[in-house]
Structure 1
Amino acid sequence: MGRYEFSSLAARNDIEAEKPWSERRVPTTLYELLSDTVSKFATRDALSFQIESGPTDKKETLTWQELHDKSVQTANLFRSLGVGQGDVVAYVLPNSNETVMTLLGGAINGIVAPINPLLEPEQIASILRETGAKVVVTLQGFPKTDVAQKVHTALEDAPDVKHVLEIDLNRYLTPPKKWIVPLIRPKVQPKHSAKVQNFNKAIASQPKTLTFEDEKIDRVAAYFHTGGTTGMPKVAQHKYSGIIYNGWLGANLLFDETDVLICPLPLFHVFAVHVVFMAVMTSGAHVVFPTPAGYRGDGVFDNFWKLIERYGVTFVITVPTAISALMQRKVDADVSTLKVAFSGSSPLPRELFNRFEKATDVKIVEGYGLTEATCLVSCNPTDGVKKIGSVGIPFPYTDVKIYDCGADGTINKECGVDEVGEICVSNPGVYVGKTYTEEAKNKGLVAGDKYLRTGDLGRIDEDGYLWITGRAKDIIIRGGHNIDPAEIEEVLAGHDAVAFVGAIGQPDAVAGELPCVFVELVAGASVTEDELMAYAKERITERAAVPKYIEIVDELPKTAVGKVFKPDLRKSSIIRVYNAALSEAGHKAEVVEVVEDKKRGLVAKIEAKGDVDRAAVDKTLGEFTRPFDWIN
């Protein structure tokens, strides 16, 4: 499959001008897409998984024909369990070949709902109830993970679930570990009424051709939860058309059947599912998933370069936190096959970009997307100028506008070049007016009559590049995970000594942002910051949301109506974090203020306090994503 040149706004416009999206000959359904790929690349490798991270550890590779057959068997199994076209199969799984089979089988048969296995039981139960899932696919009890225990607990509060299919990861191990697991496997005693079966045994008896008609209609085929790792997440609806559009982009702009991707990202997230796997399936390429936990897996960072050599990887799929960890390891293998690293989920610090490029001689392409748009919106051109810090050029058939919007979505005006406003998106992945399953949560999400309001603030420069300058929403993005500050604030507001709370994301060189909290006490009350931290740790169930810093202040800044004014809190945290980094590095410079810039958002102003190596200071602060300027 030939690739289009994606080098500039003009090249992108040429792709659109060739023919409208409605005239592109793309499949209507996922089964049609899978069948088309098998007809071209049946014997080529499609999918590889290894449970351990070593470069010689056991792996299981499926060809496109084998993946087709197993996915069809999975779809037939779900239909035999009473799951129809409008019904839901949820999975709560780490990565494995069975996870991909469940993803495809669920979406071919009905609606598939991936769920983050790191969530707590009450959150898993909430998503199961909201989606009305009839079948859940999860792990059989396995050492060093509590996924099975959490899911069976959640099922006690999800009465619509009638069947549970369990995957036993032990089949991927080799002796002696394979012999030991049955002896130490945690016992899970279900207290719900759903029938429990072994996944692989159940699909083995199913035929390898569909037992039902694949109706050629564009319909909702996936539910992805969003709204963070805390609270009760919202559920976004994804249609075949949006999923196939994301796959078309990857296959036509990024890679072809000769490419090999390594994707240590979780298959409950749109990045791994739509941006990576659907593009792999469209192109006929080969994707490698190392360990169930991906980048979090034991030894993955230590063995990463060797895995690239083992598989002849050409594309790395990554996030800034992973790049940071990789740059702490020596490139100790032949990575000459590597062509591109695609980074998403959160902004990439300039210094990290430069360090990776120098170590690997490989360019990083930064992209932008969101769950509500079925993911992809823009990326830096693969064949052209990459503006570090921007999220690149909108993809073909994606219309991005910068609007000044009213609360109900009324467009007050369209912003000009480099003028900051709310990023609004229209493309085949936007399900206009029906973004979420809950109707109430769709109110005010549409600008005009077709643009999804992202909640992100940004600008478009004279070359058509999109820059994110802030968020209209207060979401904290920690290493690509969204955290709702309201959940942190609610917990700390429950302390008797606390009057007001403001939670924000403070800059971090590794995670991008970390939860940070400012607290105003009740008059006359007494409590220490350590005591508040202990209180938060005890009551915030999601580890990622526990604050890394708590500061008690005399009075929080507030708006005229008494709401905590968070821009001032963000300025304070930038000054504190940046000055700590400068001090630790021994630089005679400090941030004296943070100002709001119309184009760049919050900008730190640095002042020299003696003889200072400005290049070294730039390198230190380049580890963070927020911009800075010298003032003398």
Structure 2
Amino acid sequence: MSAPTAPSESSLAHAIGESDPSLLTTTISANLDATIARFPEREAIVDVAQGVRLTYAEFGAVVDRLARALVAAGYQVGERVGIWAPNRYEWVIVQYATAKAGLILVNINPAYRSHELQFVLKQAGISLLIAVERFKTSDYAGMIDQARGACPELRDVVFIGTESWDALLARAEEVPADRLTEIADGLSASDAINIQYTSGTTGFPKGATLSHTNILNNGYLVGEICRYTEEDRICIPVPFYHCFGMVMGNLAATTHGACMVIPAAAFEPAATLAAVQAERCTSLYGVPTMFIAEWALPDFATYDLSSVRTGIMAGSPCPAEMMKKLIAAGIEEMTICYGMTETSPVSTQTRTDDSFDLKVGTVGRVAPHLEIRVADPITGATLARGEAGEFCTKGYSVMIGYWEEPEKTAEAVVDGWMRTGDLAVMDPDGSVRITGRIKDMVIRGGENIYPREIEEFLYTHPDIVDAQVIGVPDAKYGEELCAWVRLRSGAPELTASALREFCTGKLAHYKIPRYVKLVDDFPMTVTGKVRKVEMRSQSARELGLDG
């Protein structure tokens, strides 16, 4: 028996992105100033819920005013400023003003409670916290009071829309405009400018520290692939606290002179479609569950979406049935993005003219100026195309590191390669398929099962609008499959035996879910990712398998 041969260079699961267009070498502040000079009268931002509409010249003036106010208040280059608020135009003003003043913006998850807030305030050493007093059932002011005593570096708290906000802005008069120019001249594109806390499933979250180069270029290049110009209007219902909103949304817009449209403070399907219609948006963003919710509205057909040309779906793969609905609505240039906070975030993206199969079966191919590979998670060796392994990425987008956690940074970034923890397969044409998290893979009786494959099949059931598959403990096989299923309105109840019957003959026997749980929704992170860890523990407990 001959020894196996190593894959040839051309068949390795390794790809390098295009070198065009060139990377931007400026800071976020300098790039915004250039856009304002080119398109002063074009709309920069529309906050539908608040009735705010600003041109680029007006947006720039408000950004400069807040930046000067922050300088007047004594905040020095490199200090951390936290923002804890839902989507609103002031969030975007803070994003660009802190960049202009050389301050590091710390994005705080709107779903955090006082314990998590306190951790972030202390870990990042936040000097100033900008927040809303409350939103829906969350009493932010009360939670800040609980956390504040244990955070000695926190000097000030400013609440948006209150006297404290107005008082801060009023201090702008103390600092001349040329002081901002002096600060800008001293900033480097490689400086840290943003900290985003990753939602860890165990332990405390880690603060991915990102530079101007990281996020400015990622937003710019994502927008280039979407073919953005100053004519585009991007509907952004995804949270600003995450890269999807502030990088792929805001920075993609401002690097092209496009308009940022905020439909609501938090995701609302009807408000999103109403904003698209009223503002004639050309691009629509969301995770798959958002698009599913929008298209499931009883009055969906009454919305005029004819202006939408493109957009981005990310967070998890696009179900084939959802892509068919997008195309039927005339949105033929939707792109699929894949990435993670630590890579600013996008590493791969489908192109606007890619085939249907590529858009539903893959997350596209390597983005410009990046390098990707699929590696053996144990040895680190690059695998052959067609083999499943860990997705790794390298290039300008990889974070500076986890804030003040060098050991965890060294575990995640090896020789410049970010280890994502995602299972992937690279096809012969260089397109990448994400088959799940390494930790989400189900091993049943020695068979490796990738939940994504089964979920995609379950979408073909006429009564299922969404499905998530997890592994639960099993005494005989080690793990068994459990499907959480959302049914269409009015559908008859679906039993486990009926679902297994639907799968029989179409899926291998070991891929057929043993358990079925009917739900109205799934436990989600604020960024729209399904929390499978929570689903596993809940299912095991309910099924009496957690022993």
For normalisation by structure 1, the TM-score amounts to 0.67
2:425 to 448, 456, 459: 459
1:367 aligned onto 2:337: yes
Corresponding residue SS for 2:74: coil
In the other structure, the counterpart of 1:106 is 98
- Residue in 2 that maps onto 1:158: 151
Matching of residues 229-308 of structure 1 within 5 Å: 231-254=203-226, 255-293=228-266, 295=267, 300-308=268-276
For the structure 1 residues 440 and 15, does the alpha-carbon distance in structure 2 shift closer, same or farther, using more than 3 Å as the test?
closer
Seen in structure 2, the aligned counterparts of structure 1 residues 89 and 454 have a Cα distance that, compared at 3 Å, is: same
Structure 2 partner of 1:199: 165
Alignment partner of 1:96 is 2:62: no
Residue 320 of structure 1 corresponds to which residue in structure 2?
Answer: 288
Return closer, same or farther for 1:377/1:510 CA change in 2, 3 Å cut-off: farther
Amino acid at match of 1:352: M
Q: Which runs of 5+ in 2 are unaligned?
A: 1-14, 443-450, 459-463, 488-492, 515-529, 533-547
Preserved contact between residue 107 and residue 196 of structure 2 (Cα < 8 Å): yes
Query: Aligned in 2, Cα 1:603/1:517: closer, same or farther, shift over 3 Å?
Result: closer
1:339 to 309, 323, 328: 309
SS in 1 for 2:33: helix
Q: 1:165: Cα distance to partner?
A: 0.8
Query: Equivalents in 2 of 1:430, 1:14: separation in Å?
Result: 15
Deviations, residues 492-518 of structure 1 (Å, cap 9, x unaligned): xxxxxxxxxxxx999696676488865
Cα–Cα, structure 1 residues 151 and 219, in superposed 2: closer, same or farther, change >3 Å?
Answer: same
1:372 positional shift: 0.7
Please give the per-residue CA displacement for 1:381-416, whole angstroms capped at 9, x wherever unaligned. Answer: 11232411210111111111111144xxx63x2111
SS at match of 1:443: helix
Contact between 2:108 and 2:241, CA under 8 Å: does it hold in 1? Answer: yes
1:259 is displaced (CA, Å) by: 0.3
Work out the CA distance in 2 between the residues paired with 1:437 and 1:461.
38
The corresponding residue for 2:397 is 429
Q: Partner amino acid for 1:134? A: S
User: Residue 446 and residue 605 in structure 1: after superposition, are their counterparts in 2 closer, same or farther (change >3 A)?
Assistant: same
Q: Name the structure 2 match of 1:78.
A: 70
In structure 2, the residue matched to 1:191 is none
Preserved contact between residue 216 and residue 251 of structure 2 (Cα < 8 Å)? yes
1:402-445 per-position Cα deviation (integer Å, ceiling 9, x unaligned): 11144xxx63x21111111110001211136x244312212322
Question: What residue in structure 2 maps to residue 589 of structure 1?
Answer: 502
Q: For 1:230 and 1:13, how far apart are their aligned partners in 2?
A: 33
What amino acid maps onto 1:41 in structure 2? F
Q: Residue 461 of structure 2 corresponds to which residue in structure 1?
A: none
Tell me the CA shift for residue 229 of structure 1. 7.4
Q: Say how many residue pairs are matched.
A: 469
- Alpha carbons 1:250, 1:279 under 8 Å: kept: yes
Higher relative contact order (CA 8 A, sep 6+): 2
Give the counterpart of 2:121 among 110, 124, 128. Answer: 128
Distance 1:229 1:511 in 2: 23
The answer to whether the 8 Å contact 1:266/1:272 transfers is yes
Cα contact 1:27–1:33 (8 A) shared by 2 = no
Secondary structure at 2:76 match in 1: coil
Q: TM-score, normalised by structure 2?
A: 0.77
Contact kept, 8 Å, 1:367 with 1:379, in 2: the verdict is yes
Deviation at 1:80, TM superposition (A): 2.5
Residues 237 and 437 of structure 1 are in contact (CA less than 8 Å); yes or no, is this contact kept in structure 2?
no
8 Å CA contact retained: 2:73, 2:171? no
Local SS of the residue matching 1:28? coil
Q: How does 1:497-516 map to 2 (within 5 A)?
A: 513=468
Q: d(CA) in 1 for partners of 2:361 and 2:323?
A: 9
Answer whether contact 2:36 2:56 (CA < 8 A) is retained.
yes
* Aligned with residue 354 of structure 1, among 324, 330, 351: 324
Q: Residues 166-217 of structure 1: CA distance to partner in whole angstroms, max 9, x if unpaired?
A: 1128xxxxxxxxxxxxxxxxxxxxxxxxxxx621332134148353421241
Contact 2:387 2:425 in 1 (8 A): yes
> Structure 1 CA distance, aligned partners of 2:319 and 2:286?
14
Q: Cα distance 1:152–1:362, how it changes in 2: closer, same or farther (>3 A)?
A: farther
Seen in structure 2, the aligned counterparts of structure 1 residues 234 and 266 have a Cα distance that, compared at 3 Å, is same
Q: What secondary structure, in the 3-state scheme, does the structure 2 residue paired with 1:249 have?
A: helix
Alignment of 1:518-533 (within 5 A): none
What SS is found at the alignment partner of 2:154? coil
Q: Which residue matches 1:480?
A: none
Does the alignment pair 1:28 with 2:21?
no
Taking a change above 3 Å as real, the CA distance of residues 593 and 130 of structure 1, as seen in their structure-2 partners, is farther
Root mean square deviation, CA, Å: 3.4
Contact 1:347–1:512 under 8 Å retained in 2:
no
1:573 alignment partner, one of 478, 482, 493 = 482
Structure 1 segment 51-66 matched on structure 2, within 5 A: 51=49, 59-66=51-58
**Correspondence for 1:174:** none
The structure-2 alpha-carbon separation of the partners of 1:27 and 1:73, relative to structure 1 and needing over 3 Å to count, comes to: farther
Indicate if the aligned counterparts of 1:69 and 1:209 stay in contact, CA closer than 8 A: no
Matched residue, 1:486: none
Q: Rate the CA distance shift 1:363–1:591 in 2: closer, same or farther, 3 A.
A: farther
Give, in angstroms, the shift of residue 71 of structure 1: 1.4
Deviations 1:109-163 (A, max 9, x none): 2100010111111001101111000000001346654223223322232221001
After superposition, give the CA deviation of every residue in 1:452-483 in whole Å (9 maximum; x if it has no partner).
1111010110111010112124599xxxxxxx
Q: Which residue is equivalent to 1:491?
A: none
Q: CA deviation at 1:373?
A: 0.7
Name the amino acid aligned to 1:422: E
Q: Provide the rounded CA distance (Å) in 1 between the counterparts of 2:484 and 2:215.
A: 42
